[in-house]
Amino acid sequence: MSLEILEQLEAKVQMAVDTISLLQMEIEELKEKNETLSTESNSIREGREALEQENARLKADHEAWQQRIRSLLGKIEEVE
């Protein structure tokens, strides 16, 4: 009887060890996936920042051109 109990205990311990091993592999996979997603996130963030800078530059250029056009229109009106 005690041999049977020891065999059951051994089986349960082995199942626990197997489960722990599987969970450790899953943790490693999730760590790798997290690292990949973090890298992608940083890349996207840098791209967004570059686009925001480009947008600001284009807005400033647009405003400068509008000011030049207003100035030229004002000079044309003075001539007329």
* Per-domain boundaries in the chain: 1-79
- Side-chain half-sphere exposure of 1, counting CA atoms within 13 A: 0
- Give the angle 36-39-41 at the CA atoms, nearest 5°: 110
Q: State the pLDDT at residue 1.
A: 66
CB atoms within 10 A of CB 31: 10
Q: State the pLDDT at residue 79.
A: 83
- What's the pLDDT tens digit per position in 33-80? 999 999 999 999 999 999 999 999 999 999 999 999 999 999 998 887
Please, what's the largest Cα pairwise distance for the chain? 116
